[in-house]
Amino acid sequence: MTGWTPDSMPDLTGKTAIVTGANSGIGLPTALELARHGARVVVAARSPEKGAAAVAEIQRAVPGGQVEYGHIDLADLASVRRFAEGVEKVDLLINNAGIGLIPRQETKDGFEMQFGTNHLGHYALTGLLLPHLLASPGARVVTVSSDAHKGGSIDFDNLALEHGYRRMSSYGRSKLANLLFTLELQRRAEKAGVDLTSVACHPGATATNIVNIGRLQPLVGVFLKSAAAGALPTLYAATSPDIRGGEFVAPKFKIVTPSAAARSEELARRLWDVSAELTGVRPKI
């Protein structure tokens, strides 16, 4: 599929897409292309100011495009619930927002920040929106992971990482959790016989807010892709008719095999159960 471009995307008129973190990074060009192809797009982000600026930018690029801002803070489960309560329809959920490589912090609910935001926030959001997704034929959930998942591991006795915190290993853990969730959601959808596709993707080395863009700006185009280029695996995963549930889309639209840990059904089931206990969200699937 090396010849695939955003121009290959189908007409999305009548579809509603929610993109978390669509105010910047790869989320912004993702939302823009979805709007360009006719989707109603919800820019789900924490900052109203940045969210409004992203909406305005997309509307300038896509005159007449259906795009709106929705407030969500994935590090606050109450905010996730409020956002979900305002949703009436969703055909495509893109769990894109993410933080990484930060000093140890905690979410409003007391979870380690990278795990709480990147995984638990998206787990809760997907679970809360599941009734709407199941009501939409051909619905997809796309979760953005990373090749860094290979360096992650999950110690259920130390989820808070109060001891031995490392920025990179914590990030890798959250990205491993993203893949475990993606694959478990797909397995449950298949077992339930519902029309829902769960896939994952990773953008490769991309200049986003996760890295220090200003310091690394000279590397964009050499070692780092632009955000628009980094969004291509997400767009392919979200719209290509060739995608199958449980696939992991890498740069250049390659379908790659996640790590053995990411493919562990036992680990995925345990993470699902623990996530349900921690968030209070128990998806009926």
Residues recognised as catalytic? 171
Token reading at 229: 């280029």
* 144, 26 contact by CB (below 8 A): yes
Residue 6 contacts by C-beta under 8 Å, 6 or more apart in sequence? 33, 36, 37, 232, 235
* 51, 23 contact by CB (below 8 A): yes
Place of tokens 């199941």: 134
Phi, psi of 176 (to 5 degrees): -65, -45
